[in-house]
Structure 1
């Protein structure tokens, strides 16, 4: 299970889970395309495409930093073409970029819903469509960071606009897995069992207090590594949970993934997880 020499195009890879997936693959000696908007430092959130590119190189991988807005059709096509030319192919697309606003229909601003739809659902379609010519040649992977299709009403009652855009990603996973099977392309989704401690979550919640109930992004990176290391569509069309796929790959101990190892605090299930 190694990604040595493989080329991964990761959206939203300047921080959080996307960055962690990039660094995990870099330790194998993979080529990483850091495709994100963050070319300049954010006043409250760490990381840029250039800082992650440096980390990737230091971890043993090769990096290409590209400033990309996943809402921009021309920019996405150009970025994938540039990545293909730079590394001589693309083996995996990781649709990690996301937007979140936990607000109901009554109070959501349409421009905010449009943003979530464009970055969550539409960008998965756009990036996957643009990457398909390259992935056909490599019989590669598409991995979407989206949840299981849990139809319990609690996940719709308070913030259905966000739920709709994330479930749209998961439905595209199921559809593309079938549509692209003749090309040998594997398509899966991945979602965390528990809250993941990221700067974006801290920014949303206003503090790190909840992190004692969270795991680190490393668990998602290891799970993504297991998915992207699979071959010949042995793993496709699944809406996977990080802990589930790691157990399938023989992992039985998860304590080291805690943000606060040894803590007795109960881990908090992520959204869409009963």
Structure 2
């Protein structure tokens, strides 16, 4: 249930990497409001180890009540991003919301992270976010002029420059913080035009294929479901773009401020009360009130 009504009805979302996990959860949450959702991701054919393709994602979006468009796209390739955005605008007439979800991860130190993997993470996370934003922004400017409440939402952490987060995995940290720097810059650059730019990050690990790869079943069992990120994203994207921008949000705090008090439904394993904290959480991040 939406805490603010069907506020994304008729809006068009462009989501990178949305064939599974948090991106797909955000897509389905918007679809239940009646939104149009463009899934721009690499997986067009079934993967031997990862569930979901751009086509299965669109089928789920349409079953949930939205309209979907599947576009195979590697956001490291400018021509592919330009073509994906062209197809989105041709199908739906414009873009109101950009969700920068696509990301690559490897939690290794400097000597264990070769340049191929460094380039992959920074090419998708930091560069891909910037590239996609740059291509979509003219359409968000048009949405702003039309009063359609345009938003950019990037799944990246608060900019807490704490050495403990960089030391164990400096390449990944650089890539994720690069995404957050896009939020910081775009919020300032486009605030007068009424385009919001915000970041969203989970307090706990989220039960996705990435977490399964990093920590296996033990980590998955102490994680929350992607639906908590989807519900928090919906709340952010429903806010007035001229009033809510430049924020680095934590998922459960967004929902608490929206009136949620019972978070038990978000546990990956029902009844779990102790969750693993996610990476990059600042030392001073607010706790939920008792």
**Aligning the two structures, in what range does the TM-score lie when normalised by the shorter sequence?**
over 0.9
After TM superposition, give the deviation of residue 230 of structure 1 in Å.
1.1
After TM superposition, give the deviation of residue 211 of structure 1 in Å.
1.8
After TM superposition, give the deviation of residue 199 of structure 1 in Å.
2.1
Partner of 1:129: 134
Gaps of 5+ in 1: none
8 Å contact kept, 1:190–1:241 = yes
After TM superposition, give the deviation of residue 247 of structure 1 in Å.
1.5
Partner of 1:120: 125
Partner of 2:190: 180
Deviations 1:113-171 (CA, angstroms, capped at 9, x unpaired): 01111100001110000001100011211111000112222101110111011111111
- Choose from 63, 88, 93 the match for 2:93: 88
RMSD: 1.1
Partner of 1:41: 46
- Choose from 68, 77, 90 the match for 2:73: 68
Partner of 1:107: 112
Deviations 1:194-221 (CA, angstroms, capped at 9, x unpaired): 000012321333x322222110000000
Partner of 2:286: none
Deviates more, 1:187-196 or 1:74-83: 74-83
Partner of 1:160: 170
After TM superposition, give the deviation of residue 252 of structure 1 in Å.
1.7
Task: Please say if 1:204 is aligned against 2:186.
Answer: no
Gaps of 5+ in 2: 145-149, 284-290
8 Å contact kept, 1:148–1:240 = yes
8 Å contact kept, 2:211–2:220 = no
After TM superposition, give the deviation of residue 259 of structure 1 in Å.
0.6
8 Å contact kept, 2:191–2:245 = no
Structure 2 length-normalised TM: 0.91
Structure 1 length-normalised TM: 0.97
Deviates more, 1:255-264 or 1:29-38: 255-264
How many angstroms apart in 2 are the aligned matches of 1:23 and 1:185?
23
Task: Please say if 1:268 is aligned against 2:276.
Answer: yes
8 Å contact kept, 1:44–1:203 = no
Equivalences, count: 272
User: Runs ≥4 in structure 1, deviation > 2 angstroms?
Assistant: none
